[in-house]
């Protein structure tokens, strides 16, 4: 028999610790904080520090999953669409022109995906929104504070963070996210989370209002053209989802198909009027830069159209074909400025199909769930996916860091809510839904 403080009691304590709600919340906050703070961490403390943090979180996440293994079902752990994309990216090590770089890029992709999978399994949707809200409140407040320090109090740029001290002139500002487009995207993501918090009364009204104002101010100060597009699309999607949710169940399917047809026509009209829309947004120079880049990339896609050049994620400017593309463009691009174009370049048309399948299946599942569930918290997943997909037309944030993590989290949440895997028997007395979702 083991005495007090013996091995068996230490193991029990360790298991209870890793199964606890407190460690799950701490892990989720640390994971989201690292994902959204990647740029600041790397530029303040170095890449080695960032890699160490991510590795430590992966070890902690593995311990949490192991402690909760009796509550998990392997077939439900990772959506097949996420797994298929990761497998194809790994397979690209066979034909890549830089095997080492591709392996490193894949491990980075897989590590962030793993952290997102763990977080999605240990937190339900409302808890995830709350954690995201807490993290973004801090990071946006820090961004605003540093911009005020740089642009007003010191009136000098902070070069190592890319802050240009433009806040006194009304922007553009970058905060701790590196670029104005990244800050604008984060601000929109934050607005979605803050509005869900407000509607579910998860935080005090004063905190909710202050958070929305903070995100809104930084979205404006970012002076990012994509913020306007994201705001219009996400706002429209929220109104349509509200309309569907308040429609009688007998008429809901007809309305869904009607809305789908209207969206398809709207996209066709928007494409036909793209030049007028770009001129109205004042984004002519930004869009011209993107079009020139995409036309150049098209020439390289034709060389390896099916399998692509091999996965790296963010561009390695010294490696083919990225060095050649930048040479032609006489620029220093770190991505294709479009996630779909980036996937075609790196993983070919097969990779694009898998990426579109990942995002599309998750969006359809989450939209259908949000349209029938009473709680407004279920709207977070489809609205977040819409923001990620739309932003992917202008940036490649969805392929790494916080964008990729949010995409994986949303895919896991959507798969838990509506999937054929719900019918897989997970054992005697098991529920069709994960424990976290039953709690919702």
- Residue 163: beta bridge partners? 158
pLDDT at residue 248, as a whole number = 72
Task: With cut-offs at 50, 70 and 90, classify the pLDDT of residue 84.
Answer: very high
Domain ranges of the chain: 19-72+123-223, 225-420
Instruction: List the structure tokens of 71.
Output: 């509550």
User: 162's torsion region: left (phi>0), alpha (psi -120 to 50) or beta?
Assistant: left
Q: Lowest-confidence range among 16-30, 132-146, 208-222, 247-261?
A: 247-261
Taking alpha carbons only, the member of 431, 440, 414, 409 closest to residue 112 is 409
d(Cα 146, Cα 214) in Å, to the nearest integer? 14
Q: With left for phi above 0 and alpha for psi between -120 and 50, is residue 331 left, alpha or beta? A: beta
C-beta of residue 362 within 8 angstroms of C-beta of residue 414: yes
- Would you say residue 361 has pLDDT above 60? yes
Q: How confident is the model at residue 275 (pLDDT cuts 50, 70, 90)?
A: low
pLDDT digits (tens, 9 = 90+) for 170-204: 879 998 998 899 999 999 999 999 999 999 988 89
Q: What pLDDT was estimated at residue 273?
A: 60
Listed in sequence order, the residues at least 6 apart from 293 whose beta carbon sits closer than 8 Å to its beta carbon are 325, 329, 331, 333, 336, 337
How far is residue 391's CA from residue 394's CA, in Å, rounded to a whole number? 5
Cβ atoms of 281 and 76 closer than 8 Å: no
Which residues, 6+ apart, have CB-to-CB distance to 27 below 8 Å? Answer: 57, 60, 61, 64, 118, 119, 122
Residue 259: is it exposed, middle or buried by C-beta count within 10 angstroms (0-12/13-18/19+)?
A: middle
More confident residue, 434 or 124: 124
Instruction: Say yes or no to pLDDT of 67 above 60.
Output: yes
The pLDDT tens digits for 221-273 are 998 888 988 998 999 889 888 888 777 777 777 777 777 777 777 767 766 66
Residues 283-292 as b or e (16 or more Cβ within 10 Å = b) = beebbeebee
Place of tokens 């593995």: 62
**Mean pLDDT, residues 39-66:** 93
- Note the maximum CA span of the chain: 79
124 has pLDDT over 50: yes
Res. 406: pLDDT tops 50: yes
433 pLDDT more than 50: no
Whether 65 has a pLDDT exceeding 50, the answer reads yes
Q: Does the pLDDT of residue 297 top 70, yes or no? A: yes
Which pLDDT does position 272 carry in this prediction? 66
Flag whether pLDDT at 283 surpasses 80.
Answer: no
Q: List pLDDT tens digits, range 197-228.
A: 999 988 899 999 999 999 999 999 998 888 98
Question: Is the preceding peptide bond at 231 cis, omega within 30 degrees of 0?
Answer: no
Predicted local confidence at residue 3, as pLDDT = 46
Q: Give the chain's mean pLDDT.
A: 85
The torsion angles phi and psi of 39, rounded to 5 degrees, stand at -60, -45
Structure tokens at 305: 């159209």
């Amino acid at each position: 028999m083991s005495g007090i403080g013996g091995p068996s009691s230490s193991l029990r304590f360790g298991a209870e610790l890793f199964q606890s709600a407190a460690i799950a919340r701490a892990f989720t906050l640390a994971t989201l904080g690292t994902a959204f703070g990647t740029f600041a961490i790397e530029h303040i403390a170095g890449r080695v520090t960032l890699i160490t943090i991510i590795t430590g979180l992966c070890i902690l996440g593995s311990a949490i999953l192991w402690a909760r293994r009796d509550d998990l079902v392997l077939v439900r752990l990772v959506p097949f669409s996420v797994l298929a994309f990761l497998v194809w990216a790994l397979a690209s090590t066979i034909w890549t022109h830089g095997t080492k770089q591709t392996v490193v890029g894949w491990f980075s992709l897989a590590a962030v995906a793993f952290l997102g999978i763990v977080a999605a399994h240990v937190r339900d949707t409302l808890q995830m929104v709350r954690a995201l809200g807490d993290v973004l409140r801090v990071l946006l407040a820090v961004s605003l504070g540093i911009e005020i320090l740089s642009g007003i109090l010191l009136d000098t740029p902070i070069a190592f963070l890319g802050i240009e001290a433009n806040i006194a002139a009304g922007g553009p500002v970058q905060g701790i996210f590196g670029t104005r487009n990244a800050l604008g995207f984060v601000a929109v993501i934050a607005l979605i989370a803050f509005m869900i918090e407000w509607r579910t009364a998860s935080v005090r009204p004063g905190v909710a209002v202050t958070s929305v104002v903070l995100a809104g101010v930084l979205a404006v100060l970012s002076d990012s053209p994509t913020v306007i597009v994201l705001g219009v699309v996400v706002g429209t999607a929220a109104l349509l989802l509200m309309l569907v949710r308040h429609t009688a169940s007998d008429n809901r399917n007809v309305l869904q198909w009607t809305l789908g047809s209207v969206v398809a026509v709207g996209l066709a009209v928007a494409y036909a009027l793209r030049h007028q829309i770009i001129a109205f947004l004042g984004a002519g120079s930004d869009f011209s830069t993107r079009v020139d880049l995409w036309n150049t990339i098209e020439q390289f896609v034709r060389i390896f159209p099916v399998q692509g050049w091999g996965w790296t994620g963010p561009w390695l400017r010294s490696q083919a074909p990225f060095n050649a593309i930048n040479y032609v463009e006489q620029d220093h691009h770190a991505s294709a400025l479009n996630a779909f174009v980036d996937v075609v370049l790196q993983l070919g048309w097969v990779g694009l199909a898998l990426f579109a399948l990942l995002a599309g299946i998750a969006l359809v599942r989450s939209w259908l769930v949000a349209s029938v569930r009473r709680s407004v918290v279920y709207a977070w997943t489809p609205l977040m996916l819409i923001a990620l997909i739309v932003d992917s037309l202008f940036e490649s944030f969805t392929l790494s860091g916080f964008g990729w993590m949010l995409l994986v989290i949303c895919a896991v949440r959507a798969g838990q809510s509506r999937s054929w895997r719900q019918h897989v028997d997970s054992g005697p007395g098991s529920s069709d839904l994960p424990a976290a979702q039953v709690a919702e």
